[in-house]
Structure 1
């Protein structure tokens, strides 16, 4: 299989492509007055991921970047290591399967028996010993300028996306400073994060100077995946869960949520924020901006 090709669009290395084939489907319906309406709705389809000869999981996904999704999922679950030699990534579109092959022999029968149902959309699944792997994680104390956060939020929220076209989807963006680099979308925010992880793994991208922006809640799963990827900053328009905050404080993750207009809340890593801009100079969103609450 040919790996997904990156494109340069407005400074992004990968940006959403709302017009891409197979990601949405036209559907006819009626509005509250009974008038006919035409809508584009997001497609979702199963993708079964194999590691060598072993079936690992079937994920519901929009179907783009299956290579990055598979690599990132396996990496975030600890089934692939940073020094693993990937000998092949084979995607069969007709069978909705993808096989990641490694030079070493793998067997995760015991790990597959330990699954934790997560709070993520589209039936997110995390394997139990991921939490054990956090014991040795300590993220670098990377400083974060508040001017970067405001610039990223404004840029990302204006980027053409499947969410703006069809809704019912989550986005995750890998950023560096005030520049968004890779913007992935999927029906589950965990899938979008895994695509980012897969892209980083495939391209040997370092994590210690990166920021991860997500449109969804800052749950334990999101914090764990960000920490395991080595990214020191996680930000969102949405809110927090208590366990997510606790884990962020444990591993030294800067955790910022409720980013809307001039406002945000930092619940972990406050000492790393460099407040280099007056919030009063940032345009406020106002109560009617965006599609409030749709992505939580």
Structure 2
């Protein structure tokens, strides 16, 4: 596959706007801020959830969300996806009749921004996951990926207050999605993979956000064996990654990174001394240490 089959569109006027303000010196400034809008998802005739999102790729977001919540099965036949921009509604229609009234009562609020949720039966599926053991990550790929991703024009760089997730193959970024919640960006990629029949077994997943339990669960359920972030870890994220055999790499900036799970998949084929530190101008505006 070629690089950046889908890339960020920071110049899309629907995704951000310029707002006037005053800085710490009392000087007038203009700041680029990310748009946020509601999107209500229906599966057939049943309302599932209302998500806050930047509004791009609603079809992929809807499919990915349903897949990652075990409401859409891998072999389900999707007969249609209807999106109404004015009503801010997306409807996924399937051949199989669906009813998740009981499941919807068992929500678990996650640490994901913009109120991420998972449902009570997700862990049953998580515990049965077998990730491929023969997948690998060369450090030369990791260094190339972080440079390409961090220098790609994006809302993450221009506006902040947003998360980016990237599906990668070896040293190639394939699909780069952004959203106000990292879980939404993950779901868009899950939707794209499903709609395009992409094999997850040799893929690498990169995120700008924290390596939380939600990120680990969703990556593992997508069948991707390697998860990388420029940010840090949570204890529950590390515990779950070790339980399922996911390679978990955080604080990947410039030549530095830390692996807290699945380090046996890493092939150290580059000398860190030959890799420069991250250029400060490629850091997100207003980013924290472990945002």
Specify the TM-score bucket, using the shorter chain as the normaliser.
over 0.9
Distance 2:280 2:165 in 1: 23
Aligned residues: 288
- Show the counterpart of 2:221: 228
Structure 1 unaligned spans of 5+? 1-7
Distance 1:130 1:26 in 2: 40
Paired residue for 2:18, among 12, 21, 26? Answer: 26
- Show the counterpart of 2:172: 179
Is 1:94–2:89 an aligned residue pair? no
Paired residue for 2:120, among 128, 132, 135? Answer: 128
Is 1:218–2:211 an aligned residue pair? yes
Give 1:11 shift: 2.7
Change (3 A) 1:287 1:167: closer
Greater shift, 183-192 or 22-31, is seen at 22-31
Distance 1:61 1:286 in 2: 29
1:195-228: CA deviation from partner (whole Å, max 9, x where unpaired)? 0000001111110010000000000000000000
Distance 1:71 1:108 in 2: 16
Is 1:69–2:64 an aligned residue pair? no
- Show the counterpart of 1:293: 288
What secondary structure does 2:75 align onto? coil
1:69-96: CA deviation from partner (whole Å, max 9, x where unpaired)? 0000000000001100000000010110
- Show the counterpart of 1:261: 254
What secondary structure does 2:236 align onto? helix
**Would you identify which runs of 4 or more consecutive aligned residues in structure 1 move more than 4 Å?**
286-289
Change (3 A) 1:288 1:15: closer
- Show the counterpart of 2:35: 43
Paired residue for 1:202, among 195, 198, 201? Answer: 195
- Show the counterpart of 2:7: 15
Structure 2 unaligned spans of 5+? none
Change (3 A) 1:26 1:287: closer
What secondary structure does 1:131 align onto? helix
Distance 1:11 1:270 in 2: 26
Superposition TM-score, scaled by structure 2 size:
0.96
Q: How does 1:124-203 map to 2 (within 5 A)?
A: 124-141=116-133, 142-203=135-196
Is 1:274–2:261 an aligned residue pair? no
Aligned partners of 2:233 and 2:250 also within 8 Å:
yes
What secondary structure does 1:37 align onto? strand
Distance 1:243 1:82 in 2: 27
Give 1:131 shift: 1.3
Distance 2:248 2:275 in 1: 21
Change (3 A) 1:49 1:13: same
1:151-180: CA deviation from partner (whole Å, max 9, x where unpaired)? 100110000001111111000000000000
The Cα RMSD (Å) is: 1.5
What secondary structure does 1:119 align onto? coil
Aligned partners of 2:126 and 2:221 also within 8 Å:
yes
Give 1:285 shift: 2.1
What secondary structure does 2:232 align onto? coil
Give 1:129 shift: 1.0
Is 1:57–2:46 an aligned residue pair? no
1:262-286: CA deviation from partner (whole Å, max 9, x where unpaired)? 1100011111111000111111127
What secondary structure does 1:224 align onto? helix
Is 1:250–2:243 an aligned residue pair? yes
